[in-house]
Structure 1
């Protein structure tokens, strides 16, 4: 299991779908070699330098946190069942209500689709709030997500950065 890096009243909690096997093994978020999260965060302006996955806890220094929608580690997120999302929603809601982030950035559409029941989601800002937080849906930075180049990821993430940096 991968431990959340979280605190109260953060600007953003980035929510991955679930841990990859390497991240769960290492105990560090987004530690897979092909995962582009840390590079994207840096290039989009969230951090002044690229954080190494082994120093993932330093993300708190910038007012950001990390969690996952489902705790179970898998090779691919599409290995999760609908029941696993359904069984995770209440614990996730409790966590968000307790920590009260300003924004929740779901990395990929799968978790928010399952949690909101909304099957027609666009990338970016969502109209409805979730547990009092504004919601953004960003493309999943996994190296398995070949539908988005690094440049595409940076563009989407930078849109959120511009909003939170005002």
Structure 2
């Protein structure tokens, strides 16, 4: 789900098995992406993964770094992430969203050869597109509460409005 002129293009690491089976991003019930997207103010109500096409009406899009589905993101190889970063860069150059929001700092570090990257806005740009790294909303990411995640997503929302 990508279109020209998006405010933010969210980018997951890769589809989980349920996402691959349903064709819906962040489809696993324990994934916090959809609740956090709403809690941060990006959407006026909590969307269901089946409503992902509705993101476009809010100037938002969604994609992945790597297309291959896995049970866990740590099953991806370094080479897959690097190639995914290259392909994602080409996609961003083509569609020129204002912000690329990569959801997962570890994958971002590998895919974009930025080993010291931290959550938040990055110095890197892709053409005119700014880059923000967000925490991974997977239920496996216990280091981030839903509230803290929503606050970080909210920082991006405020930057994307400016």
For the superposition of Structure 1 and Structure 2, which TM-score range results when normalised by the shorter chain?
Answer: over 0.9
Alignment counterpart, residue 90 of structure 1, candidates 86, 91, 97: 86
Q: How does 1:120-131 map to 2 (within 5 A)?
A: 120-131=116-127
Describe the superposition over 1:79-115 as per-residue Cα deviations: whole angstroms up to 9, x where unpaired. 1010111222332222111111110000011332123
Alignment counterpart, residue 155 of structure 2, candidates 139, 152, 159: 159
CA distance in 1, matches of 2:86, 2:141: 28
CA distance in 1, matches of 2:112, 2:87: 14
Corresponding residue of 1:28: 24
Q: Where do 5+ consecutive residues of structure 2 fail to align?
A: none
- Cα drift, residue 148 of structure 1: 0.8
Corresponding residue of 2:45: 49
TM-score normalised over the length of structure 2: 0.95
Partner-residue secondary structure (3-state), 1:127: strand
Structure 1 segments, 4+ long, off by >6 Å, are none
Q: How does 1:78-117 map to 2 (within 5 A)?
A: 78-117=74-113
CA distance in 1, matches of 2:11, 2:126: 13
Asked whether the 8 Å contact 2:40–2:153 carries over to 1, the reply is yes
Asked whether the 8 Å contact 2:32–2:138 carries over to 1, the reply is yes
Q: Where do 5+ consecutive residues of structure 1 fail to align?
A: none
